[in-house]
Chains A and B, each alone.
Chain A
């Protein structure tokens, strides 16, 4: 059977989702996206620069007909702001697949889960397919699923921290309880973090800072691409059991 990454009934080739922020320029961003093989990118909704409307736009570099844009609500600290942002995003070009991210604290950037839950329910009722950035809390993940989330996206660690997955147990519990797409969003620092996420059974990972701010972003984009593939294959292959003691790899019988 083919191993497919499906979100809200749509099939995607890559399990790596790329954030398009923090790159030096749009050229660098577009090249990193291409090298990563990602077919979904997150984007932010912001005011048009009225004083310079000739400036190139993101859409001039990353074609939304070829790469799925996933509008986010970065910078929103309550439900009203998030709903307003995503309704505007939908209006730009009919986007219904969105990333909901309601933050609760400006320093640690942890999600404000009460507002997130409220927003998920409203957006799902309005027909949005909501991929929800959330805490690595199995109970909250369940509640998001119950109100109509299309994907659960727990953080590995605070946004942009590069700390990697801090609570693998919680991620495993969330994996075990949901059939929804599970995507690790935020906090990854290096390619092996993505492999770990995939080996835990996640369906995908979302990476921005770890690639955009790497010393060599293009190489890191490739590294993440391969790391996600490796992790997925490893997960599907079924790892061996862990043993406290050693077990020889060569037969004992016939030793001279």
Chain B
């Protein structure tokens, strides 16, 4: 059986282990994050939310997921 390769990424500043070639759309879906209420950055580049299922995550990628909170 083929061994599933794991990689490490940084998600919102914290290290996270994921399966290699995981698409960012799947990552967000698995985390149950409401896509319409967030914005996503990959290595400091803002992603088009329509293309999330096409982008594969690589080792050491830095993902930031942000939303609105109370502020003045």
* Chain A interfacial positions (CB closer than 8 Å to B): 19-23, 26, 29, 42-48, 50, 53-54, 57-59, 69, 71-72, 74, 84, 87-93, 159-160, 186, 206, 208-209
In the bound complex, do residue A91 and residue B72 qualify as a contact, i.e. CB atoms below 8 Å apart?
no
A residues within 8 A CB of B14?
50
In the bound complex, do residue A72 and residue B72 qualify as a contact, i.e. CB atoms below 8 Å apart?
yes
In the bound complex, do residue B72 and residue A23 qualify as a contact, i.e. CB atoms below 8 Å apart?
no
Given known pairs A48-B38, A53-B32, the reply for A69 and B44 (CB within 8 Å) is no
Q: How far is the CB of B17 from chain A (nearest CB, A)?
A: 13
Give the total of B residues in contact with A, Cβ under 8 Å.
Answer: 26
CB contact between A57 and one of B12, B64, B67, B71 (< 8 Å): that residue: B67
* Chain B interfacial positions (CB closer than 8 Å to A): 11-14, 31-34, 36-41, 44, 46, 49, 64-72
* Chain A residue at smallest Cβ distance from B14: A50
Q: Do most interface residues of chain A lie in helix, strand or loop, or is the interface mixed?
A: mixed
CB contact between B46 and one of A43, A58, A87, A93 (< 8 Å): that residue: A87
In the bound complex, do residue B12 and residue A21 qualify as a contact, i.e. CB atoms below 8 Å apart?
no
A residues within 8 A CB of B13?
47
- Residue of A20, A48, A58 ringed by the most chain B CB atoms within 10 A: A48
Known interface pairs A26-B70, A44-B69, A91-B40; 13 further A-B residue pairs with C-beta atoms within 8 A, sorted by A's residue number: A21-B72, A23-B70, A46-B66, A46-B68, A46-B71, A47-B64, A48-B12, A54-B32, A72-B72, A92-B66, A92-B67, A93-B36, A160-B72
